[in-house]
Amino acid sequence: MALDIRPWRPGEETEILKLFQASFGRPMAEDFWRWRYLDHPAGDPLVILAWDGDRLAAHYAASHAPLQIDGESVPAALSMTTMTDPDYRGQGLMEKTGSALYDVMAASGIKAVWGFPNVFSNVTFQRKLGWTSVGDIANLSLTLDDRPAPETTDVVEVPEIDGRFGQLAARVAASVQVCGARGEAILRWRVDRNPVNRYTRLILPDGEEIAAYAILKSYGDDAFDLVDFCADGADAARGMILAVVGVARAHGRTRVNAWCLNRDANRLVLERAGFVAGGPVTYFGAREFGDPGRDLTDPRLWRLSMLDSDLY
């Protein structure tokens, strides 16, 4: 079947939202689509569509997601919503739209695409789109008990992201080989301007700077997701985790969830606080375009948090 496979044009988001409803059985708000794909501070939209006349058959998009590699910013993108109209499935459209998008990204200087395929797309990403599985991410969970948490009076909640968040992230990224960029503009876009999720922002002040921050999001009525966590040193990390536990208890939560890979220095801090690895497990993979400066398929190099995913 000859389809017109090409980049998104303004006004076509209406058909994209219809396709999302047909593919997943639930709506996507237009303001969320625009925020995720059109408003990222790192660049223009990365969206490829497959058209059969005036009918949208398939959609593959990525969201800009620059990486910090050895402290230097490298253009990269997060693979996002892949969807095919039920009437057009089985025709390889995920592979065709993905390949077309990768050509666009490589030509624009983007060095890699990375992300978290679901159970339905993981095999296709590896067999058809050239991805390599980097590893599986276990959910870390802390079940809260009735013991009082130690006092952590120095940690305070702030209403929005400010420049200190990005400055701390830059200091920490200098000692991390590969991680998602956390500049002020990106964090403001991701956290403060998110049209769907609401977050709690905690900081540990250190003079004019901050020594640690944590970003929390409610998960149901009984849990918090620790979606992002950054600390300059083990003492600051331990103090912030104790504060997170205190905030969770104060809000009547019984559990805190987080992501942290095995080789991340913060993993021991979390385990010492009582976090235990379990399900659900999330697939994590990547594909390089050219040389990004590090082997992105080596899980030992990465630092990840839930905020790197589009689901949190």
The yes-or-no answer to whether 4-134 and 138-284+293-308 have a common fold is yes
First to last CA, the chain: 37
In whole angstroms, what is the distance from residue 190 CA to residue 256 CA?
A: 21
Q: Which tens digit of pLDDT belongs to each residue from 183-206?
A: 999 999 999 999 999 999 999 999
Is the pLDDT at 1 greater than 70? The verdict is: no
Q: What is the pLDDT of residue 152?
A: 64
The overall average pLDDT reported for the chain is: 94
> Domain 4-134 belongs to what architecture?
3-Layer(aba) Sandwich (3.40)
93 token code pair: 């459209």
pLDDT digits (tens, 9 = 90+) for 158-189: 999 999 999 999 999 999 999 999 999 999 99
To the question of pTM greater than 0.85 for the whole model, the response is: yes
The position carrying tokens 């080596």 is: 298
- Give the max Cα distance, the chain: 65
280 preceded by a cis bond (ω within 30 of 0): yes
Residue 224 contacts residue 191 (beta carbons within 8 Å): no
Three-class SS state of 263: coil
CATH architecture of 138-284+293-308: 3-Layer(aba) Sandwich (3.40)
Q: Where are the alpha helices (DSSP H) in 25-162?
A: 30-37, 93-107, 122-128
**Domain locations in the chain as residue ranges:** 4-134, 138-284+293-308
pLDDT tens digits, one per residue of 132-146: 999 999 999 999 987
- Asked if 108 and 255 touch (Cβ cutoff 8 Å), the reply is no
d(CA 59, CA 82): 6
Say if CB 180 and CB 132 are below 8 A apart.
no
pLDDT of residue 197: 96
Look at strands 302-303 and 178-180 and give their pairing: parallel
Q: What is the pLDDT of residue 2?
A: 87
pLDDT value, residue 252: 92
pLDDT value at 111 more than 70: yes
pLDDT at 70 over 90: yes
Instruction: Tell the burial category of 119 from Cβ atoms under 10 Å away from its Cβ (0-12, 13-18, 19+).
Output: exposed
Q: 78-82, 147-151, 228-232, 240-244 — which is least confidently predicted? A: 147-151
Amino acid at 154: D
Q: What is the 3-state secondary structure (H, E, C) of 274-298?
A: CCEEEEEEEEEEEEECCCCCCCCCC
Q: What is the pLDDT of residues 276-300, one digit of tens each?
A: 999 999 999 999 998 999 999 999 9
Cα-based distances in Å from 50 to 45, 84, 114, 125: 16, 9, 22, 18
Residue in the block written with tokens 């999720």: 197
Q: Using a pLDDT cut of 90, give the percent of the chain over it.
A: 92
User: What is the mean predicted confidence (pLDDT) over 46-56?
Assistant: 97
Report the pLDDT value the prediction gives residue 167, as an integer from 0 to 100.
97
Residue 145 is predicted with a pLDDT of: 81
Share of the chain above pLDDT 70, in %: 97
pLDDT for residue 120 = 86
pLDDT mean over 88-101: 95
The CA angle 72-76-78, to the nearest 5 degrees, is 135
* Strand bridging mode 77-84 / 112-115: parallel
Running DSSP on this structure, what letter comes out for residue 159? S
Token digits of residue 146: 């009735």
pLDDT of residue 290: 86
Residue 150: strand, helix, or coil: coil
Overall average pLDDT of the 14-30 stretch: 94
Residue 180 DSSP one-character state: E
The band of 232, judged by pLDDT with boundaries at 50, 70 and 90, is very high
Burial of 26 (0-12, 13-18, 19+ CB in 10 A): exposed
